[in-house]
A and B are shown apart, each in its own frame.
Chain A
Amino acid sequence: MSGIISYGSYIPYWRLQRAAISGALGTHSGKGTRSVASYDEDPTSMGVEAARMALSALGGTSTRAVYFATTRPSYLEKTNATAIHAALDLDEDAFAADMIGSVRSGVAAIRAALDAPKPTLAVLSDIRTGLAGGSDEREGGDGAAALLCAAEGDFIAECLGGATATAEFLDRWRAPGDFAARVWEERFGESIYLPLARSAIASALKQAEIAPEQVTHFIVTGTHSRSIPRIAATVKPETLVDNLAATIGNTGCAHPGILLASVLDSAGPEETIALVVLADGADVLLFRTTKALTTRRQPMSVASQMACTRDDLAYSKFQTWRGVYRLEPPRRPDPVGPQAPPTYRSEKWKFAFTGTRCAACGTCHLPPARICLRCGAVDKMLPERLANTRASVATFTIDRLAYSKSPPVVVGVLDFDGGGRIPVELTDVDPGKVQVGDRVEMTFRRMYAAGSVQNYFWKARPIRGTE
């Protein structure tokens, strides 16, 4: 029987008040907020953040494969999961592939990881949006989750089985290249989804020999806004897991992972979780938590991540980040994209944030160097990955001329704990509040896209929560 070894989530810093949408457009006023990926994030970068969270609590288990699910991949033709593989510094002989395009890819990646013979990381990440004033824009959210699954091992939650029901029907669709999805009349979808869901839930419980009342946590999520509450209404209210609609919104293909993470954040041992996902059918997975869960939760819970936020994002900025509003660029040449051969040569630095430390004198070099700046030793360097090392701001400045989708650029010169210095861009930060000595942590970001080429690298953000 397979199970989950570790898990992680990523909720981006920014929230858009739904009232800000109605304020800008004069449309139906929604309540609460939705999460928004920052201008320097995409599904790949958010997936890296969730995966880092999942792997940080782990000792020893090596990830043998990565399945990356998103509906809005930054690349087609080229695999996106390879950037995640590189950012996690996984071994070359670990597999990496995408499951992209449809919302069902999220639960599909979890199922595939659970079915895999070797430890496999399912990374679910999504950016949800729609036409201005529409329900997808309002009710959607951005975020990511990652689950490391294995066929055997020291599980935090054992998979008790599951069931699926599939049908071909037109409920929600989007053509490649289109900005927004379209949906058929929801009353039609409801008539399809409800029987599929009921059948899959009954089948899963029966196969696992679990009575419905034995389920401690019922997660019901998916794409269909009419069917989800109907299914949710059939379970004991106290077992129904908060779908976070009021705070972060529906993160599409990432949502099953984020909700599962929110349960694992606080569940005790020997509790039963039912995950029900309605997306072009119904998928049900059953889990039972173990004692190991209490010692291997993600270092920062979904709730704590949600608490590190700013909820005053202007609608105009949201639309600028989404590429709907096109700001006049500065009178500078467009940024030239990263070139393929130098990017390939510096994979360990650019993606894994691996510098070098001089074996002769211990001086850390960021980026990697061959000759030590302190003692001059030649080729005596050892690689050292600083992606998970914290740092202090040695000095900083605000650059109001540098090109950015969200000016001004905050430049921070960082001193890493244990040595190492580098100037980087600070993100998820209030430019007016940066101070020398601020504590920061590294975060994987999309620096910019030049044409269709994505430029990923690391920035620093204020440490979330307490140290």
Chain B
Amino acid sequence: MDKKIKNAIMLVLVVFVIVAIQQGILYSVDKSIGTGNAQVIVTDANGDEEWTMGLVPHLQTMPLADANAAGLKVWATPGDYSGDAVMGVTAAIAAVMWIVWMGVFLGFPSNIKLKKEKIIGLIGISFVILILNLVILRAVADATTSLSVVKNTASHLSLALNNTGILFGILLVRIRVGGRDPNQPFMPGMGGPNPCGVADKNFYKKFNGLLIMLVATAVIEIICQFANIGVPEVAVDASVWLIWGIIFIAHFGTYPSDWKLGKRPKGIALMVILTVLTIVGFYLMQVATNESIGSGVGETRLFNAFGSYNAGLSLMLSCWFVFWTIALGSAGYCDPGECKPKPAETKQ
């Protein structure tokens, strides 16, 4: 087997293990609260909330009805940490974050270079992610009273942590912390030493391709909404489709003529197959755990909340498309292959 593919399989397996551990820990925190209970922020004798350094709340678990009767501020209810009702989606975002950190930033497993800057960057970024999320949580805690603080801030805490992680991971790569090979493009379709099949160097052609993709993915989102497979928060649902559109053209080329080059048709087919397999896997896990872990597809809890059994399917598709596009890029399925000589341009 190709060495690149072997490395990519290794990367995906390690990412899945880390995601399982991360989501498992958050899931156990959810379960420790207990159904019908809530974590509330402790108040002192004067009725003031207790915060350590103004950022970390003092929490206490009690029945939700008691907390509402006493007028205490609810920090989290079961499911707010890991998002067990839509575990398929939260795990997808976590998987994207860990593949960006492990594969794109650290270069795991083939060209891992643990330079001092990279380690300091990783520690620094973890600290920034933690502090930034605590600051936002504190701001939202002071501004809103309805529902729980975590739910009002980010739906589920793991989504906020992992989205911040992806964003800062991308920023670290962009400012070249720890050095980056200039011949190694940030995304496989974005140029580099191979002159053919790269993203078009003409800015306006690229810009047109980008706008077409944004419109196309918006149409996908509209279809998903009318087919009742999207969550009602269209902003969240649509933005992941838009992100996938850009990641797709950055990996496989801007126009359909680029998508036919080299290994790319195989890559696109694999992206679809692996995404479908992942969704089926999560559905089986949902059936096996009696809907304790939700996949976002065919789920009673989603029907009770949004009136559609498959309300998470649109997010499942877009999030896992993003993950598998990045994974297949590292496996070399975005290579445009041998460069065919282009016919000489004739001036008329």
Are A and B a genuine interacting pair, yes or no?
A: no
Binding site for B on A (CB under 8 A): none
Binding site for A on B (CB under 8 A): none
